[in-house]
């Protein structure tokens, strides 16, 4: 593998000030056996994230549409009695 090299220096007087360029100290090739061990967990995690994103988009779209149609009315003063139980963070999607 080709090692990372800093960019060549410009010799003219219009040179910009040097900036920090991160580099690698050591490179290790990926171990296919480790990936195979983690593949199911990675796949399940990504699938769960996609499901949560899709459901959140659906829920937001549905709420917006029903509010516009006048079919959904919220009463925040009455909901305040229940605290923040209606918050999505209190109802995570589980499988």
Question: The whole model's pTM is what?
Answer: 0.49
**Spatial separation of the C-alpha atoms in residues 92 and 49, rounded to whole Å:** 11
**Per-domain residue ranges of the chain:** 32-90
Reported as a single tens digit per residue, the pLDDT across 25-34 is 788 888 888 9
**CA distance linking residue 80 with residue 92, whole number of Å:** 21
pLDDT, tens digit, 9 for 90 and up, residues 19-70: 676 777 788 888 888 989 999 999 999 999 999 999 999 999 999 999 999 9
Task: Answer whether 52's CB lies under 8 Å from 93's CB.
Answer: yes
Report residue 81's pLDDT band, with 50, 70 and 90 as the boundaries.
confident
Using the predicted structure, report yes or no on whether residue 91 has a pLDDT greater than 80.
no
User: What pLDDT score was predicted for residue 69?
Assistant: 95
* Cα separation, 64 vs 74, whole angstroms: 12
pLDDT of residue 95: 47
């Amino acid at each position: 593998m080709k090692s990372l090299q800093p960019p060549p220096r410009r010799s003219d007087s219009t040179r910009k000030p040097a900036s920090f360029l991160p580099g690698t100290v050591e490179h290790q090739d990926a171990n296919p056996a480790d990936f195979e061990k983690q593949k199911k967990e990675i796949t399940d995690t990504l699938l769960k994230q996609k499901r949560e994103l899709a459901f959140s988009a659906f829920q937001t779209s549905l709420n917006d549409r029903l509010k516009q149609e006048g079919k959904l009315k919220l009463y925040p003063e009455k909901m305040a009695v229940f605290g923040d139980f209606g918050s999505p963070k209190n109802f995570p999607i589980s499988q």
